[in-house]
Amino acid sequence: MTPNNWTIADIPDLTGKTIIVTGGNSGLGFESVKAFAWKGASVIMACRTVAKGEDAKKQIVKFLPSADITVMRLDLTDLESVRDFVSNFKKNHIRLDVLLNNAGIMMVPYNVTKDGFESQLATNHLGHFALTGLLLDVLRNTPKSRVVNVSSLAHKWGEMDFNNLLYENGNGYSPTKAYSRSKLSNLLFTYELQRFFEQHKIDAISLASHPGLSDTNLANHLVKKWYFRLLQPILFRMFQPPSMGALPEIRASVDPGASANEFYGPGGKRQMKGYPVTVHPKMKAHDKESARKLWEVSEKLTSVTYS
Ligand SMILES: NC(=O)c1ccc[n+]([C@@H]2O[C@H](COP(=O)([O-])OP(=O)(O)OC[C@H]3O[C@@H](n4cnc5c(N)ncnc54)[C@H](OP(=O)(O)O)[C@@H]3O)[C@@H](O)[C@H]2O)c1
């Protein structure tokens, strides 16, 4: 029986498990690292700024001295950094029970990464696609491993346009459209990855989650905008604390009752708040043709081939 008011108290013992959390130094990722470490997992906090990761680790170790947390550098906007991260990880690890693809940016102005990709798709999808593909052998060698992608309610407004996936030269770019596209991509990738696992008889499952609305650092760059200031009092009433917002991704990562293709989100009104339950994305997230195209273009752009 899976409880409806699932909390971190329902996490089983995670001793012996290895878990990578991208963006583990802040917000939902930080809460996830804390919960996994509390239950005995060996956690890799993958951060773009190591100093921020070390500060975050210190905060956890202060109240949980036994926490087994390793901070490692990972910049998802830089494929070289993704490759370095994976090769450093493989020097010390032969198993990976959970890859929690949590890191993200939201609604930033048009920007291009070192590799030439629009920054929201690069961080939220392409970097994680490359990371997962490069870790595939370790996931394959770990029985019952999991990949969890963190999406958003914003996937509902996402549209895939494979003629202009990266908003070349800023054409057609809007911060909201690009964020929604990246979050729809997280779901398309989740389901295609599960099909890949099944086709290749890999003992792993692919799942997704979304946090509803949670008060983290994600919108910090918007705070000065007039419309954000106007909406702030309403938004803050709608937000749930990161400790609640992280529950869907934590549940997807470690609830023994969770299964392939499940999508966890808050069970309250309009999925904005509440305890984590399985929810359903918009039908377009299940579009196999879009998922296949996204996979093909992601392999091409990142030069990471799944096999
Ligand atoms: N909060 C919400 O209401 C909400 C709603 C829907 C979906 N989400 C999703 O939840 C996930 C976590 O976000 P959050 O709310 O916890 O926000 P957050 O507090 O801003 O945390 C985001 C994390 O991602 C990291 N990150 C950003 N760019 C990166 C890069 N290039 N390489 C590696 N790490 C990078 C950040 O690092 P720095 O600390 O160095 O910036 C930070 O650790 C995101 O995928 C977001 O889209 C959040």
Cα 17 to ligand 1 centre (Å): 24
pLDDT score for 225? 78
| pLDDT at 231 exceeding the cut of 90 | no
Cβ of residue 19 lying under 6 Å from some atom of ligand 1: no
Apex CA 219: angle with CA 214 and CA 223, to 5°? 120
Q: Is residue 275 annotated as a catalytic residue, yes or no?
A: no
Q: Which atom of ligand 1 is nearest to the CA of 213?
A: 3
Residue closest by Cα to atom 8 of ligand 1: 152
pLDDT score for 31? 98
The kind and range of the H/E element at 12 are: none
| pLDDT at 248 exceeding the cut of 50 | yes
Domain 12-302: give its CATH superfamily.
Answer: NAD(P)-binding Rossmann-like Domain (3.40.50.720)
pLDDT score for 234? 75
pLDDT score for 102? 98
Q: What is the pTM of this model?
A: 0.97
Q: What b/e string do you get for 233-243 counting C-beta neighbours within 10 Å, with b at 16 or more?
A: eeeeeebbebb
Taking residues 147-153, report their average pLDDT. 98
Residue closest by Cα to atom 36 of ligand 1: 23
pLDDT score for 1? 46
Q: Could you report the per-residue pLDDT of 24-75, keeping only the tens digit for each?
A: 999 999 999 999 999 999 999 999 999 999 999 999 999 999 999 999 999 9
Q: Which atom of ligand 1 is nearest to the CA of 29?
A: 16
pLDDT score for 72? 98
Q: Please report which residue ranges of the chain form alpha helices under DSSP H.
A: 27-38, 50-63, 79-92, 119-121, 127-134, 136-140, 175-199, 226-238, 242-245, 247-254, 288-302
Cβ of residue 52 lying under 6 Å from some atom of ligand 1: yes
State the catalytic residue, choosing from 110, 173, 179, 306.
179
Residue closest by Cα to atom 42 of ligand 1: 23
Structure tokens at 111: 């920007």
* Domain ranges within the chain, ordered by starting residue: 12-302
pLDDT bracket for residue 227 (50, 70, 90)? confident
pLDDT bracket for residue 122 (50, 70, 90)? very high
Taking residues 292-303, report their average pLDDT. 98
Query: How distant, in Å, are the alpha carbons of 5, 61, 166, 218, 278 from that of 37?
Result: 21, 9, 37, 23, 24
Taking residues 228-239, report their average pLDDT. 77
Cα 218 to ligand 1 centre (Å): 6
Cα 123 to ligand 1 centre (Å): 9
pLDDT score for 3? 61
pLDDT score for 220? 84
What is the percent of the chain with per-residue pLDDT over 70, rounded to a whole number? 99
pLDDT bracket for residue 238 (50, 70, 90)? confident
Cα 27 to ligand 1 centre (Å): 7
